[in-house]
Amino acid sequence: MFANVMVVFEVFREMAKNAAMGIPAVRDARVARQRTALPLDASHLDRYAFPLLDLVTTHVGSVIGKTILEIGPGDNLASGLAFLAAGAKSYSALDRFPGPYASELSRRWYRLVEQTWSLKYPHLKWPAYLDANRFPNYPEVTTFPISAENFNQTARYDVVCSFAVGEHVSDIHAFAALNRRALSESGVGLHVVDFGGHQWDRPEDPYLFLRFPVSVWRAMGSNRGFPNRIRFHEYLDAFAQSGLSVDVVDRRAFKTVGRRPPAWVTRLPEESGSIQEATFVVRRPR
């Protein structure tokens, strides 16, 4: 009983937050603040600064001389600094809710990236031109305050990548089409999608989001980039339908098994109920 009351309370609270984010002034004030309240500590860099560089290097190859487009970098551009430090030619980023990329707090993260670089990547010399105190004010860096769904630049990139963003876009067909349009002929897209519980963090239930009626889910998150509830196999379909080849180079399963989807969810492939995180690599057809 108490648990049910708490869920209803939580739902109403989320609806109120979503309604507030529909007001432009509230939205602007909210995104100007750091979203993740992480203590500034080098132990977080493997999660928040280096994962895309590491994944792209592992699954695609060296980024030296490459042009990079990241979708949804989050509060700061530490991942972009890492790409440039590793030799990328340019770094561009688009985000529906762009962070305060040149704030003092962001720059503290950039300084931490620079300070830890030689330990983390002893074989990669930090470029002389790159200064964490000045980043991201470089001609090599471009940012677009726009959602993936509305991004219509004509530039092509060698790498299009994202980490924990695909599950937030409201239209994954537009997300897939962006990859198709923005990738150069030999370009590669790499996207890590997190199908887990996010702020509800109930990792034992892979179907948590699907237990809410669509209308309630939208009322809680439409203005906030809430997880979209789209499942693993639908990403495969969206990439394939946009004419891209797709490989899943890594997948992590939910820890618990045996939970059943809600009765109204039919024809959900088994793997879509068991995969908590997947890394998709997409390419244009040759």
Ligand X SMILES: C[S@@+](CC[C@H](N)C(=O)[O-])C[C@H]1O[C@@H](n2cnc3c(N)ncnc32)[C@H](O)[C@@H]1O
Which residues form the interface with ligand X (CB under 6 A)?
Answer: 48, 71-74, 94-97, 147-149, 163-165, 168-169, 225
Report the nearest approach of ligand X to the CB of residue 276 (Å): 15
Q: Which residue is nearest to ligand X (CB)?
A: 72
In the bound state with ligand X, the residue whose beta carbon lies nearer, of 57 and 261, is: 57
Report the nearest approach of ligand X to the CB of residue 167 (Å): 8
In the bound state with ligand X, the residue whose beta carbon lies nearer, of 17 and 268, is: 17
In the bound state with ligand X, the residue whose beta carbon lies nearer, of 203 and 262, is: 203
Report the nearest approach of ligand X to the CB of residue 97 (Å): 3
In the bound state with ligand X, the residue whose beta carbon lies nearer, of 71 and 282, is: 71
Report the nearest approach of ligand X to the CB of residue 166 (Å): 9
Report the nearest approach of ligand X to the CB of residue 178 (Å): 9
In the bound state with ligand X, the residue whose beta carbon lies nearer, of 26 and 268, is: 26
DSSP the chain: -HHHHHHHHHHHHHHHHHHHHTSHHHHHHHHTS-SS-----GGGHHHHTSHHHHHHHHHT---TT-EEEEE---SS-HHHHHHHHTT-SEEEEE-SS---TTSHHHHHHHHHHHHHHHHH-TTSPPPTT--TTTTT-STTEEEE-S-GGG------EEEEEEES-TTT-S-HHHHHHHHHHHEEEEEEEEEEEE-S-GGG--TT-TTTGGGS-HHHHHHHHTTTT------HHHHHHHHHHTT-EEEEEEEEE-S---PPPPTT--S--HHHHHEEEEEEEEE---
Residue pair 152/182 in contact by the 8 Å Cβ criterion: no
Report the nearest approach of ligand X to the CB of residue 51 (Å): 7
In the bound state with ligand X, the residue whose beta carbon lies nearer, of 21 and 164, is: 164
